[in-house]
Structure 1
Amino acid sequence: MIEGFTCSRCGEFHEKIPMCFGAEYPDYYFSVSPEERATRIEYLDDLCVVDEEHFFIRARIKIPVIDSDEVFCWNVWTSLSEKNFVRTNVLWNDPKRVNEPAYFGWLQTVLPGYPSTPNIRTMVHTQSVGTIPRVEVIEEGHPLTLEQENGITWERVIELAEIAMHGE
């Protein structure tokens, strides 16, 4: 792992490279006016329901760093069908949930450093109890899919970290 970097955006030396960034809410959350959110949205740290018809789960995209054991992560939100969302809730504290097949979902998080990420296709893989689900990006030809499959360089990690910290 690289020991720190000088940020090209702010000029400061950062002793550690941030390896995980994320979104607090699914993008769809922001389609509801702030005045209506209390009545139309049910929100927990890892689950969100809008208008009792749009269902979201927080999960993690892991991108391997080439020639390293490290991974760069995005904590994201994906949609789930109502059936899969209910199933997720039923199995939330069940150790057998790791045996669940992956659930299809649409990514619901804007990721800086990538072309349009909301509504790209994903598969959500349930992990052991207490571990955030893993997202497999399956949008054919999308740079995020390719980076998840092939890995990224340390230079790309720094580029993504700078964009996430300071904007594009």
Structure 2
Amino acid sequence: MTTSSGFQCATCGAYHTGYPMCYGPSAPEIWYTIPEAEREARCLLSSDQCIVDEKYFFVLGRVEIPIIETGEEFVWLAWVSLSAENFNRTCELWEEEGRESEPPYFAWFSSALPYAPTTLHLEAILHTRPLGERPAIELQECAHPLYQFQKNGMALAELQALTERIMHG
């Protein structure tokens, strides 16, 4: 069975063809707390990086979760915060060949994904990847369900439940 076969949605009753295999917010969680009228003055946001108030620094990365039955992978696009020093180093290497040889950076998870408890402020390691690839986010060992899925994989039924939560709130 592959994730392209789809599923009968337990929430809305409709048949959904395939499973969307990548989700994620377009900005770190802090960005959403800033009044819209202030965002342009206080934030620099691109598709991969964000700076808030010139003191909070974020990079978009990938949390990769194997789907046990299929060998495929579900990906959360998520934001992590870095120290100013590590963010600046990441920016220096952004367009450099061989950047994947850079040691990983400590990071704080900065996206509120649909899990309980919250995913905000989980400890993580950010691994730089080759040019053209988003960095990989490795959650640090903890009891959080997201860490458990990243470490052990996710069953197709769990992917369906997650997809339904994302689609229907």
CA displacement at 1:113 relative to structure 2: 3.4
The equivalent residue for 1:34 is 36
What one-letter code is carried by the residue in structure 2 that aligns with 1:101?
P
1:152 maps to 2:154 = yes
The DSSP-based 3-state class of the residue aligned with 1:145 is helix
Conserved in 1, the CA contact under 8 Å of 2:69 and 2:156?
Answer: no
- Equivalent positions of 1:112-151 (< 5 A) are 112-151=114-153
Aligned to 2:24: 22
Q: Is the 8 A contact 1:120 1:139 kept in 2?
A: no
Over residues 2-53 of structure 1, what are the superposed CA-to-partner deviations in whole Å (9 max), with x where a residue is unaligned? 4110111111111111111110010011222111111110111100000100
Distance 2:88 2:115 in 1: 33
Match of 1:9 in 2: 11
Paired position in structure 2 for 1:52: 54
Secondary structure of the residue aligned to 2:30 is: helix
Dislocated runs of 4+, deviation >6 Å? none
Q: Sort the Cα spacing of 1:53 and 1:139 in 2 relative to 1 into closer, same or farther, 3 A.
A: farther
Q: Secondary structure at the match of 2:50?
A: strand
Retained in 2: the 8 A contact 1:53–1:82? yes
Match of 1:95 in 2: 97
TM-score (norm 1): 0.95
- Does the 8 Å CA contact 1:113/1:163 hold for their aligned counterparts? no
**Long gaps (5+) in structure 1:** none
Q: What is the distance in 2 between the residues matched to 1:103 and 1:67? A: 32
Is 2:58 the partner of 1:69?
no
- Aligned residue pair count: 167
User: Hey, what's the Cα distance between the residues in 2 that align with 1:58 and 1:87?
Assistant: 15
TM-score normalised to structure 2 length: 0.95
Counterpart of 2:89, as a letter, is: R
> 1:99-134 CA deviation, whole Å, 9 max, x = no partner?
011111111111113421011111111111111111
> Could you tell me which residue of structure 2 aligns to residue 106 of structure 1?
108
- 1:164 positional shift: 1.0
1:139 Cα deviation after fit: 4.5
Give per-residue Cα distances to partners, 1:143-162, cap 9 Å, x unaligned: 11111111110000111111
Take 2:10 and 2:27, find their aligned partners in 1: how far apart are those partners? 28
Residue identity over aligned pairs, in percent, reads 39
SS at match of 1:144: helix
Q: In the aligned structure 2, how far is the partner of 1:90 from the partner of 1:9?
A: 46
Contact 1:107-1:117 at 8 Å conserved across structures: yes
Gaps of 5+ in 2: none
Matched position secondary structure for 1:35:
helix
- The answer (yes or no) to whether the contact 1:114–1:144 under 8 Å persists in 2 is no
